[in-house]
Amino acid sequence: MNTTRALVWTVTGLMASFMLMASIPDVLHAPQAVAIFDHLGYPNYLLRFLGPAKCLGVVAILAPGVPRLKEWAYAGLTFDLLGALYSHISVGDPPSVWVFPVIGLVLVTATYLTYHRQATTASGVWRTVTVRTPRLDYSVGRDIAARSQRKV
């Protein structure tokens, strides 16, 4: 296993673990999660949506061969973490509380960047490819000139 692939799976594993541990209290509707949502001013029924959505996002990122779905999953997890960060800052929580969304954002960003780095090096984007193009035929201009002379 090369170092890029090992780095991708290490960072992805950390991010997946972090996001799953953050989503399980939401799925279970745990009292701590309900208290946090009450503190932030969000309705409790949103927990039943965000928890499974985070789990599905992690599953999509870990699933092989679905690049477009992975892009949407990365976007969804990023929006979730940015919303959490903004919510904690806007209610005046100290940095010790909103550092967790920052850690999640760092992990999701690192996973996204390493995933794309592996995808570009694996597809051979960095290799030089010589493409021969046929000579261009500029006879169109001559055809237009010939037609205008015939009309006169």
- Per-residue pLDDT tens over the stretch 103-141: 999 999 999 999 888 877 765 544 444 556 566 555 555
pLDDT number for residue 147: 62
What is the Cα–Cα distance from 94 to 54, expressed in whole angstroms? 25
pLDDT at position 120, please?
75
Contact criterion met (CB below 8 Å) for 49 and 96? no
Q: How far apart are CA 10 and CA 8, in angstroms?
A: 6
Cα 76 to chain centroid distance, Å, stands at: 7
pTM of the model: 0.75
